Structures are given as C-alpha cells and as structure tokens.
Amino acid sequence: MTSFAKINTAPTYRRLYDAIETEIMRGRLKPGAKLPTETDLAGQFGVNRSTVREAIRLLEQTGLVERASSRRLVVSKPSTDQLASGITRALVMHQVSFSDLWAAMMAMEPAVAEGAAHSITPDQIAALEQNVSDSRACLNNPKQFCELDHQFHTILAEAAGNRVLDIAREPINLLFHPAVSKVMTQLSQASSRTLEAHEQILTALKTHDAMNARHWMTKHIDDFRRGYEHAGFDLNGPIDIKR
C-alpha cells in the first residue's frame, strides 16, 4: 500500500506568505532588503496580484515587512512596539487578572533593575535623574506623574540592554498604566512613595549596586500591589482598560 503525502490545501495566499516568511527566516532576505513589486511577485509565483496582496497583508501584520516612504516594501525586524501592542491585545482578550500581571512584573522588573545596574551608561543615568526630577515636580499631577513612572521603567529596561526582558516587560507596563493612574489619583501618598522608590533605585544604579537595585525594585513593585489593594480594587479581578 503506497502512502500518499498530505496535499497542502492551505489557500494560495497563505502558502505565499509561508514561502516569503521562510525566505526571510532563513536569512536569504535580510532586513532592509527591498521586496519585488506586487506585479513582479505575481509573475514569479505565477499567481494573481490580488493573491499577492493578501499574502503581503499577512507579512505586514507580522511586522516582517513595512513600507519605506509609503512605497516599496522592505524586509524588517518586527518592532518592539508592534510586538508589545499585539501581546497587550492578547492579554486583554484573555482577561488576565491583576494578580497574574503583577506576578509577572514581580518576576521581571527586579531582573531588569539588576541588569541595568551592571550595564547602565552615564547618559542613561542622566536621563533617569532628569526623570526623577521631573517626577518630583509633578507630585500633584497624577496623570503626568504616571507618564513619567512609565518612562522611568522604560529607560531602565533600555539600560539593562536585554531585548528579551524588554519585549516581555513592555506589554505588562502598558496594561498597568490605567491601574497606576487610578492608584495615583486615589491614594495621596502613592506618588511620593513611588518617587522615593525611584530615587533609591537610581542611587543603587549610580554605584552599580545590583543587589540594592533589585531590592528596591522588589519593594517598589510590592508597594504597588499594596496600593492597588488599599485603593479598594480586587486583586483577582481582570484589569480594565478604560481611559
């Protein structure tokens, strides 16, 4: 009995996508390389231009190609932002609880702080000092303060120079933004406690004191949970994403 291989019944546009994706993943199409025009692709693959266009939409959403100057398509690495917003969408749809998000943050942020302590540059220290000083000036402006808090953690992640942690961390910070905002608004002492934590972390970073950076970050994140709880929110409830 001869056994037949399964026939690939996937629609043409998807097989086209797969073909181009592998071409990119194998490194035969490097980031920055220009893709042929739609008509060329249609010719090369022997399919209609509409089909090519559908395949391109898939590549586009994956972040593997993007328009250079709104014309020619070029191969690109998926941007951190694109990744983050995709993950954020998914987490929202899965209605993850505050406590799950918090646990993930508790795992990652201290690691980020520790990493940053090792590899932070003077420029980045200066940026953090600026951020802390701006924050001090915004103690009574929850909205702005909240923005600066996010920025603090973003600079830190950049300083740690670990793309993996950065990509994993960003969506969580994005999702926490509304929660941070609520806590800052409702708890008068929240801002000053946050500022104090940031200052302690910054001090540790300046002396490349990884242990203390981690320690204060841990306290900082833990504090946030207490603030959230104290402000009357349910730890096990889903995050809501009002604005």
Query: Contact residues for its own copies (CB under 8 A)?
Result: 13, 21, 24-25, 31, 50, 53-55, 57-58, 60-64, 77-78, 83, 86-87, 89-94, 96, 100-101, 103-104, 106-108, 110-111, 115, 162-165, 167-168, 172
Tally DSSP H helices, then E strands, for the chain: 10, 2
In this structure, what DSSP letter does residue 97 have? B
Q: Which of 18, 21, 33, 49 binds DNA (CB under 7 A)?
A: 49
Please give the Cα distance from 122 to 189 (Å, whole number).
31
Is 50 an interacting residue with respect to DNA (CB under 7 A)?
A: yes
**Residue 8 binding target from DNA, its own copies, none, CB below 5 to 8 Å by type:** none
Q: Which of 21, 23, 54, 100 binds DNA (CB under 7 A)?
A: 54
- Residue with Cβ nearer its own copies (68 or 126): 68
Please give the Cα distance from 11 to 30 (Å, whole number).
26
* Residues β-bridged to residue 74: 34, 66
- 61-65's contacts with Cβ under 8 Å and 24+ in sequence apart are 62/21, 64/20, 64/21, 64/24, 65/35
- Residue with Cβ nearer DNA (43 or 237): 43
Structure tokens at 16: 């086209």
- Residue with Cβ nearer DNA (2 or 70): 70
Please give the Cα distance from 155 to 157 (Å, whole number).
5
Which residues, numbered 9-28, are part of the site for DNA (CB under 7 A)? 9, 11-13
How many other β-carbons are positioned within 10 Å of the β-carbon of residue 163? 11
Span of 50-58, 90-98, 134-142, 185-193 interacting with DNA by CB under 7 A: 50-58
Which residues, numbered 65-94, are part of the site for DNA (CB under 7 A)? 67-73
- Residue with Cβ nearer its own copies (168 or 184): 168
Which residues, numbered 149-168, are part of the site for DNA (CB under 7 A)? none
Is 39 an interacting residue with respect to DNA (CB under 7 A)?
A: yes
Query: Residues near 182 by Cβ (< 8 Å), separated by ≥ 6?
Result: 231, 233
Burial class of residue 55 in the structure, from the number of CB atoms within 10 Å of its CB (0-12 exposed, 13-18 middle, 19+ buried) = buried
**Residue 39 binding target from its own copies, DNA, none, CB below 5 to 8 Å by type:** DNA
**Residue 172 binding target from DNA, its own copies, none, CB below 5 to 8 Å by type:** its own copies
